[in-house]
Amino acid sequence: MNVIEKPWGNYLILHVENGIQVKRIELKPGCRLSLQKHAHRAEKWTIVAGSGIAIVGTHEISVLRGSVIEIEVNEIHRIQNTGQELLVFIEIQFGDYLGEDDIVRLQDDYGRIL
């Protein structure tokens, strides 16, 4: 298994099977993922370490260890690490297509194409 480095932290793919992918994601302090949505997949995040703020639709949700966030297909979402330690979460993706190109970025801190 290879760790995929990103400007905001990294992720590791833990498991892949038909219609399901599981990742372990580490988000550096002060960093956030792009504001995004997916046309083909839903996601479920389980926070295992750290703290932050998740945006899901029009809701802003404080997250701590043990928090679970559910994201529907086409729902706008983002997570930000507001703590001093890594924010670590398990992301379970469910859908008919799980490719990395199923990301529609609406806002991005790292200069990636919107």
Question: Phi first, then psi: what are they for 28, rounded to 5°?
Answer: -65, 155
Residue 8 lies in a domain: yes
Instruction: Give the pLDDT confidence score for residue 60 in this predicted structure.
Output: 98
Instruction: Give the pLDDT confidence score for residue 105 in this predicted structure.
Output: 94
What predicted TM-score, i.e. pTM, was given to this entire model? Answer: 0.93
Instruction: Give the pLDDT confidence score for residue 37 in this predicted structure.
Output: 97
Exposed (0-12), middle (13-18) or buried (19+): which is 30, by Cβ within 10 Å? exposed
Residues 6+ apart with CB under 8 A from 105: 34, 35, 36, 112, 113, 114
Instruction: Give the pLDDT confidence score for residue 114 in this predicted structure.
Output: 62
Q: How many domains does the chain have?
A: 1
Q: Which residue range(s) make up the domain with 15?
A: 3-107
Tokens 């792009």, residue located: 34
Residue 114 lies in a domain: no
Low-confidence ranges of the chain (pLDDT < 70): 1, 114
Residue 112 lies in a domain: no
Give me the CATH number covering residue 56. 2.60.120.10
Residues 6+ apart with CB under 8 A from 106: 34, 35, 36, 37, 76, 114
Instruction: Give the pLDDT confidence score for residue 111 in this predicted structure.
Output: 84
